[in-house]
Amino acid sequence: MKLSAFKRALWVFHVPTGSCNGCDIEIVAALTPRYDVERFGIKLVGSPRHADVLLVTGAVTRPMAERLRRIYEQTPDPKAVVVVGGCGTTSGVFYESYNIVGPVDEIIPVDVYVPGCPPRPEAIIDGVVKAVAKLERLEAGEAV
């Protein structure tokens, strides 16, 4: 029986693309012992080249658009993209701002949306767990 790598560990790379950093604070809160994401095998890594999941926060600013594309391309397949917060989903309060290119899904493909301003750590963990399910289906060869 083949054991999926995603059942053992899920490596996540956090990409802040702009905004107020409220979502970033909630991600850090999810990493604390209170929520203990490591029990799910979720580990924050420092390079997209080692990541299974991109955790993107904030509306995409002009300087970050090309960087986000490059980070997405550097992440090995199979990969999943989780957008955290209202700004990454719809540009939020920064909608039609002079320096905002748009929400994340206008730059790279998105698999899971975690709504909220900012979302609670429980919601972020739930979004990452949904990304795990998507990666496991991809590995099994099912249509996603």
Which residues of the chain fall short of a pLDDT of 70? 1-8, 142-144
Q: Given this model, what pLDDT does residue 129 score?
A: 85
Reported as a single tens digit per residue, the pLDDT across 26-38 is: 888 888 888 888 8
Q: Are 87 and 19 in contact (CB under 8 A)?
A: yes
Domains of the chain: 5-136 (3.40.50.12280)
Q: Residue 3: what pLDDT?
A: 43
Strands (DSSP E) found in the chain: 10-16, 42-44, 53-57, 60-61, 80-84, 100-102, 112-114
Backbone conformation region of residue 74, classed left if phi is above 0, alpha if psi is from -120 to 50, else beta: alpha
**pLDDT at position 72, please?**
94
Of 47, 90, 91, 88, nearest in space to 71 by CA: 47
Determine contact, residues 75/47, Cβ cutoff 8 Å. no
Burial 97-124 (b: 16+ CB within 10 A, else e): eeebbebbbebbebbbbbebebbebebb
